[in-house]
Protein backbone atom coordinates (compact mmCIF):
# COMPACT_ATOMS: atom_id res chain seq x y z
CA UNK A 1 0.00 0.00 0.00
CA UNK A 2 1.42 3.41 -0.97
CA UNK A 3 1.84 6.29 1.46
CA UNK A 4 -1.03 8.10 -0.27
CA UNK A 5 -3.28 5.08 0.08
CA UNK A 6 -2.26 4.74 3.72
CA UNK A 7 -3.86 8.14 4.30
CA UNK A 8 -7.11 6.76 3.03
CA UNK A 9 -10.33 8.38 4.14
CA UNK A 10 -12.85 6.48 6.23
CA UNK A 11 -15.61 4.48 4.67
CA UNK A 12 -17.86 6.32 2.26
CA UNK A 13 -21.13 5.23 3.79
CA UNK A 14 -20.35 6.92 7.09
CA UNK A 15 -19.23 10.05 5.29
CA UNK A 16 -22.55 10.16 3.49
CA UNK A 17 -24.34 9.85 6.80
CA UNK A 18 -22.39 12.91 7.91
CA UNK A 19 -23.42 14.80 4.81
CA UNK A 20 -19.76 14.90 3.92
CA UNK A 21 -18.01 15.85 0.73
CA UNK A 22 -14.69 14.54 -0.58
CA UNK A 23 -11.53 16.46 -1.42
CA UNK A 24 -9.94 14.69 -4.40
CA UNK A 25 -6.44 15.79 -3.45
CA UNK A 26 -6.37 16.27 0.32
CA UNK A 27 -7.72 12.91 1.49
CA UNK A 28 -9.96 14.65 4.01
CA UNK A 29 -13.08 12.84 5.10
CA UNK A 30 -15.45 15.73 5.50
CA UNK A 31 -15.95 19.15 4.03
CA UNK A 32 -13.72 21.87 5.39
CA UNK A 33 -15.02 23.71 8.39
CA UNK A 34 -15.27 27.49 8.01
CA UNK A 35 -11.91 27.80 9.79
CA UNK A 36 -10.29 25.95 6.92
CA UNK A 37 -11.00 28.93 4.70
CA UNK A 38 -8.80 31.02 7.00
CA UNK A 39 -5.15 30.70 6.00
CA UNK A 40 -4.05 31.43 9.56
CA UNK A 41 -6.26 28.80 11.22
CA UNK A 42 -4.28 26.06 13.03
CA UNK A 43 -4.52 22.83 11.06
CA UNK A 44 -4.50 19.37 12.57
CA UNK A 45 -4.28 15.92 11.06
CA UNK A 46 -6.12 13.33 13.17
CA UNK A 47 -5.00 9.77 12.49
CA UNK A 48 -6.75 6.57 13.53
CA UNK A 49 -4.45 3.53 13.87
CA UNK A 50 -6.23 0.17 14.08
CA UNK A 51 -5.45 -2.78 16.31
CA UNK A 52 -5.01 -6.51 15.85
CA UNK A 53 -7.13 -8.67 13.53
CA UNK A 54 -8.69 -5.61 11.91
CA UNK A 55 -9.31 -5.66 8.18
CA UNK A 56 -9.02 -2.53 6.03
CA UNK A 57 -12.80 -2.21 5.84
CA UNK A 58 -13.11 -2.58 9.61
CA UNK A 59 -10.38 0.00 10.14
CA UNK A 60 -12.29 2.40 7.89
CA UNK A 61 -15.45 1.82 9.89
CA UNK A 62 -13.59 2.45 13.14
CA UNK A 63 -12.07 5.63 11.73
CA UNK A 64 -15.50 6.72 10.58
CA UNK A 65 -16.89 6.16 14.05
CA UNK A 66 -14.11 8.31 15.50
CA UNK A 67 -14.85 11.14 13.08
CA UNK A 68 -18.60 10.88 13.60
CA UNK A 69 -18.33 11.09 17.38
CA UNK A 70 -15.73 13.86 17.25
CA UNK A 71 -17.80 16.05 14.94
CA UNK A 72 -20.92 15.52 17.03
CA UNK A 73 -18.99 16.72 20.08
CA UNK A 74 -17.08 19.53 18.36
CA UNK A 75 -19.75 22.27 18.79
CA UNK A 76 -19.41 21.92 22.58
CA UNK A 77 -15.61 21.92 22.63
CA UNK A 78 -13.40 24.87 23.46
CA UNK A 79 -13.52 27.74 20.93
CA UNK A 80 -9.83 27.21 20.14
CA UNK A 81 -10.54 23.63 19.09
CA UNK A 82 -13.61 24.64 17.09
CA UNK A 83 -11.52 27.18 15.19
CA UNK A 84 -9.01 24.57 14.05
CA UNK A 85 -9.15 22.85 10.69
CA UNK A 86 -9.41 19.09 11.39
CA UNK A 87 -8.49 16.58 8.68
CA UNK A 88 -8.99 12.86 9.31
CA UNK A 89 -6.73 10.09 8.07
CA UNK A 90 -6.18 6.35 8.53
CA UNK A 91 -2.74 4.87 9.14
CA UNK A 92 -3.43 1.21 8.56
CA UNK A 93 -1.79 -1.45 10.68
CA UNK A 94 -2.10 -4.37 8.23
CA UNK A 95 -3.61 -7.54 9.64
CA UNK A 96 -2.20 -10.99 8.97
CA UNK A 97 -4.84 -12.87 10.91
CA UNK A 98 -5.25 -13.57 14.61
CA UNK A 99 -2.15 -15.65 15.12
CA UNK A 100 0.42 -13.34 13.56
CA UNK A 101 -1.21 -10.19 14.92
CA UNK A 102 -1.27 -11.38 18.50
CA UNK A 103 2.25 -12.80 18.33
CA UNK A 104 3.47 -9.51 16.94
CA UNK A 105 1.75 -7.59 19.72
CA UNK A 106 3.30 -9.93 22.26
CA UNK A 107 6.76 -9.34 20.84
CA UNK A 108 6.36 -5.59 20.73
CA UNK A 109 5.00 -5.23 24.22
CA UNK A 110 6.79 -7.94 26.16
CA UNK A 111 10.15 -8.56 24.61
CA UNK A 112 9.39 -12.26 25.11
CA UNK A 113 9.20 -15.12 22.67
CA UNK A 114 5.75 -15.78 21.33
CA UNK A 115 5.62 -19.21 22.98
CA UNK A 116 6.49 -17.80 26.41
CA UNK A 117 3.87 -15.08 26.13
CA UNK A 118 0.96 -17.26 25.10
CA UNK A 119 1.87 -20.10 27.44
CA UNK A 120 1.83 -17.54 30.23
CA UNK A 121 -1.66 -16.47 29.28
CA UNK A 122 -2.81 -20.09 29.06
CA UNK A 123 -1.29 -20.93 32.44
CA UNK A 124 -3.22 -18.10 34.06
CA UNK A 125 -6.47 -19.36 32.62
CA UNK A 126 -6.91 -16.36 30.35
CA UNK A 127 -7.71 -18.22 27.16
CA UNK A 128 -11.36 -17.26 27.48
CA UNK A 129 -12.01 -15.05 24.47
CA UNK A 130 -12.59 -16.64 21.09
CA UNK A 131 -9.51 -15.07 19.52
CA UNK A 132 -7.10 -16.07 22.30
CA UNK A 133 -8.50 -19.59 22.31
CA UNK A 134 -8.00 -19.79 18.57
CA UNK A 135 -4.40 -18.68 18.92
CA UNK A 136 -3.59 -21.13 21.69
CA UNK A 137 -5.08 -24.04 19.77
CA UNK A 138 -2.59 -23.57 16.96
CA UNK A 139 1.07 -24.61 16.99
CA UNK A 140 3.41 -21.73 17.76
CA UNK A 141 7.02 -22.19 16.77
CA UNK A 142 8.82 -19.06 15.61
CA UNK A 143 8.08 -15.53 16.80
CA UNK A 144 6.94 -13.27 13.99
CA UNK A 145 8.98 -10.20 13.29
CA UNK A 146 7.64 -6.80 14.16
CA UNK A 147 6.65 -4.96 11.02
CA UNK A 148 9.32 -2.26 10.92
CA UNK A 149 8.11 -1.14 7.52
CA UNK A 150 4.78 -0.14 9.04
CA UNK A 151 6.51 1.87 11.76
CA UNK A 152 8.60 3.68 9.14
CA UNK A 153 5.53 4.36 6.99
CA UNK A 154 3.57 5.77 9.92
CA UNK A 155 6.44 7.94 11.14
CA UNK A 156 7.04 9.26 7.62
CA UNK A 157 3.39 10.28 7.31
CA UNK A 158 3.54 12.21 10.58
CA UNK A 159 6.76 13.97 9.68
CA UNK A 160 5.34 15.00 6.30
CA UNK A 161 2.25 16.44 7.97
CA UNK A 162 4.28 18.49 10.46
CA UNK A 163 6.93 19.74 8.01
CA UNK A 164 6.47 22.54 5.44
CA UNK A 165 4.44 23.09 3.37
CA UNK A 166 1.71 21.26 5.34
CA UNK A 167 2.71 22.63 8.77
CA UNK A 168 0.00 20.64 10.53
CA UNK A 169 -0.18 19.46 14.09
CA UNK A 170 -0.81 15.71 14.39
CA UNK A 171 -3.06 13.82 16.81
CA UNK A 172 -2.91 10.00 16.76
CA UNK A 173 -5.79 7.94 18.17
CA UNK A 174 -4.63 4.30 18.17
CA UNK A 175 -6.55 1.24 19.32
CA UNK A 176 -5.14 -1.95 20.83
CA UNK A 177 -1.92 -3.01 19.07
CA UNK A 178 -2.05 0.29 17.23
CA UNK A 179 -0.80 1.88 20.45
CA UNK A 180 2.44 -0.10 20.18
CA UNK A 181 2.98 1.05 16.60
CA UNK A 182 2.09 4.63 17.53
CA UNK A 183 4.58 4.69 20.41
CA UNK A 184 7.29 3.34 18.12
CA UNK A 185 6.40 5.84 15.39
CA UNK A 186 6.41 8.70 17.90
CA UNK A 187 9.90 7.71 19.04
CA UNK A 188 11.06 7.52 15.42
CA UNK A 189 9.74 11.00 14.60
CA UNK A 190 11.59 12.63 17.48
CA UNK A 191 14.80 10.61 17.22
CA UNK A 192 15.80 11.99 13.83
CA UNK A 193 18.70 14.41 13.48
CA UNK A 194 16.39 17.41 13.00
CA UNK A 195 13.20 16.52 14.87
CA UNK A 196 10.05 18.64 14.59
CA UNK A 197 9.18 21.05 17.41
CA UNK A 198 8.18 19.33 20.63
CA UNK A 199 4.46 19.27 21.16
CA UNK A 200 3.49 19.01 17.48
CA UNK A 201 2.57 15.32 17.77
CA UNK A 202 0.32 13.82 20.44
CA UNK A 203 -1.31 10.47 21.15
CA UNK A 204 -4.65 9.62 22.75
CA UNK A 205 -4.55 5.86 23.24
CA UNK A 206 -7.55 3.54 23.44
CA UNK A 207 -7.44 0.01 24.92
CA UNK A 208 -3.67 0.07 25.15
CA UNK A 209 -1.55 -3.00 26.00
CA UNK A 210 1.49 -0.75 26.50
CA UNK A 211 3.17 0.50 29.67
CA UNK A 212 3.35 4.09 28.41
CA UNK A 213 1.92 6.58 25.94
CA UNK A 214 4.45 8.30 23.70
CA UNK A 215 5.04 11.90 24.71
CA UNK A 216 3.21 11.34 28.00
CA UNK A 217 -0.06 11.39 26.13
CA UNK A 218 -3.50 10.46 27.42
CA UNK A 219 -5.25 7.09 27.18
CA UNK A 220 -8.39 5.19 28.11
CA UNK A 221 -8.53 1.48 28.90
CA UNK A 222 -11.71 -0.05 30.26
CA UNK A 223 -11.85 -2.19 33.39
CA UNK A 224 -14.25 -4.38 31.41
CA UNK A 225 -11.70 -5.02 28.61
CA UNK A 226 -11.04 -8.75 28.94
CA UNK A 227 -8.05 -8.80 26.58
CA UNK A 228 -6.11 -5.95 28.19
CA UNK A 229 -6.98 -7.22 31.67
CA UNK A 230 -5.45 -10.56 30.70
CA UNK A 231 -2.28 -8.95 29.43
CA UNK A 232 -2.06 -6.91 32.63
CA UNK A 233 -2.07 -10.09 34.71
CA UNK A 234 0.98 -11.28 32.80
CA UNK A 235 2.58 -7.82 32.79
CA UNK A 236 1.56 -5.75 35.82
CA UNK A 237 3.36 -2.76 34.28
CA UNK A 238 0.64 -2.45 31.63
CA UNK A 239 -1.14 0.87 32.03
CA UNK A 240 -4.03 0.51 34.50
CA UNK A 241 -7.69 0.71 33.57
CA UNK A 242 -9.03 4.24 33.90
CA UNK A 243 -12.50 4.01 32.37
CA UNK A 244 -15.29 1.47 31.81
CA UNK A 245 -18.29 0.74 29.64
CA UNK A 246 -20.71 1.14 32.52
CA UNK A 247 -23.69 -1.22 32.50
CA UNK A 248 -23.77 -1.78 28.78
CA UNK A 249 -25.42 -4.57 26.73
CA UNK A 250 -22.48 -4.21 24.35
CA UNK A 251 -20.37 -6.22 26.79
CA UNK A 252 -22.59 -9.27 26.18
CA UNK A 253 -22.19 -9.21 22.42
CA UNK A 254 -19.40 -11.23 20.77
CA UNK A 255 -19.16 -8.44 18.19
CA UNK A 256 -17.66 -6.20 20.86
CA UNK A 257 -14.76 -8.55 21.61
CA UNK A 258 -15.08 -8.90 25.36
CA UNK A 259 -15.13 -5.16 25.96
CA UNK A 260 -12.17 -4.52 23.63
CA UNK A 261 -13.95 -3.17 20.52
CA UNK A 262 -13.03 0.36 19.44
CA UNK A 263 -16.59 1.09 18.36
CA UNK A 264 -17.73 -0.12 21.77
CA UNK A 265 -15.33 2.27 23.49
CA UNK A 266 -16.83 5.14 21.45
CA UNK A 267 -20.43 4.03 22.04
CA UNK A 268 -20.59 3.15 25.74
CA UNK A 269 -20.34 5.69 28.53
CA UNK A 270 -18.32 7.01 30.23
CA UNK A 271 -15.52 5.85 27.90
CA UNK A 272 -16.96 7.69 24.88
CA UNK A 273 -17.08 11.09 26.58
CA UNK A 274 -13.70 10.61 28.24
CA UNK A 275 -11.95 9.77 24.96
CA UNK A 276 -13.45 12.83 23.26
CA UNK A 277 -12.45 15.00 26.22
CA UNK A 278 -8.89 13.65 25.98
CA UNK A 279 -8.86 14.54 22.29
CA UNK A 280 -10.06 18.06 23.10
CA UNK A 281 -7.33 18.52 25.73
CA UNK A 282 -4.67 17.26 23.34
CA UNK A 283 -5.88 19.52 20.53
CA UNK A 284 -5.75 22.52 22.85
CA UNK A 285 -2.13 21.69 23.62
CA UNK A 286 -1.34 21.22 19.93
CA UNK A 287 -2.88 24.59 19.07
CA UNK A 288 -0.32 26.30 21.30
CA UNK A 289 2.62 24.98 19.22
CA UNK A 290 3.65 26.28 15.81
CA UNK A 291 4.93 23.40 13.62
CA UNK A 292 6.79 25.69 11.18
pLDDT of residue 100: 47
pLDDT-wise least confident of 13-27, 48-62, 192-206, 243-257:
13-27
Residue 240 to residue 67: CA distance in whole angstroms: 26
Residue 130 covered by a domain: no
pLDDT at 61 over 60: yes
pLDDT band at 37 (very low <50, low <70, confident <90, very high): low
Task: Return the minimum-mean-pLDDT range out of 50-64, 175-189, 237-251.
Answer: 50-64
Residue 134 forms part of a structural domain:
no
* 219 pLDDT tier (thresholds 50, 70, 90): very high
- Per-residue model confidence as pLDDT tens digits over 72-96: 999 999 999 999 999 999 998 875 5
Average pLDDT rounded to a whole number, residues 143-147: 45
Highest-confidence segment of 75-79, 95-99, 107-111, 192-196: 75-79
Distance, CA of 246 to CA of 270 (rounded, Å): 7
- Domain extent, residue 80, equals 3-96+149-287
- Please check whether residue 156 lies inside any domain of the structure: yes
Residue that wins the pLDDT comparison between 142 and 100: 100
Q: What percent of the chain has pLDDT over 70?
A: 68
Domain membership flag for residue 201 = yes
Q: Give the long-range contacts of residues 235-238, CB within 8 A, separation 24 or more.
A: 235/109, 235/110, 235/211, 237/211, 238/109, 238/208, 238/209, 238/210, 238/211
CATH number (domain holding residue 76): 3.40.50
Give the pLDDT band of residue 30 (cuts 50, 70, 90). Answer: very low
pTM value?
0.75
pLDDT digits (tens, 9 = 90+) for 121-144: 444 444 344 444 443 333 332 223
Dihedral angle computed from the Cα positions of residues 236, 238, 242 and 244, in that order, rounded to the nearest 10 degrees: -90
Q: Is residue 238 part of a domain?
A: yes
Instruction: Classify residue 181: in a domain, yes or no.
Output: yes
Of 1-5, 216-220, 221-225, the one with minimum mean pLDDT is 1-5
pLDDT in tens, 157-175: 999 999 999 999 999 999 9
Whether 256 is in a domain gets the answer yes
Domain-located, residue 48? yes
Is the pLDDT confidence value at 35 over 70? no
Which pLDDT belongs to residue 153? 93
Number of domains in the chain: 1
Q: Looking at the chain, list the stretches that DSSP marks H as alpha helix, in order from N- to C-terminal side.
A: 3-6, 12-17, 56-73, 79-82, 98-110, 114-123, 130-136, 148-162, 178-190, 226-234, 262-265, 271-287
Amino acid sequence: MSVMNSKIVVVLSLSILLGAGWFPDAGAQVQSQSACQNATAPRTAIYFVNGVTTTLDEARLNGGKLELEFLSKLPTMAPTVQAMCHLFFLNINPTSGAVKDFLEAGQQRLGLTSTTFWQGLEGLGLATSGVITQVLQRPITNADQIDQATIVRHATAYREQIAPPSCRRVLIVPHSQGNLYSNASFDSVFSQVLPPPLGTLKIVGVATPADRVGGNGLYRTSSTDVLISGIRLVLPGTLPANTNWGISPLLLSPAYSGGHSFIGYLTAEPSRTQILTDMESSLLALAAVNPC
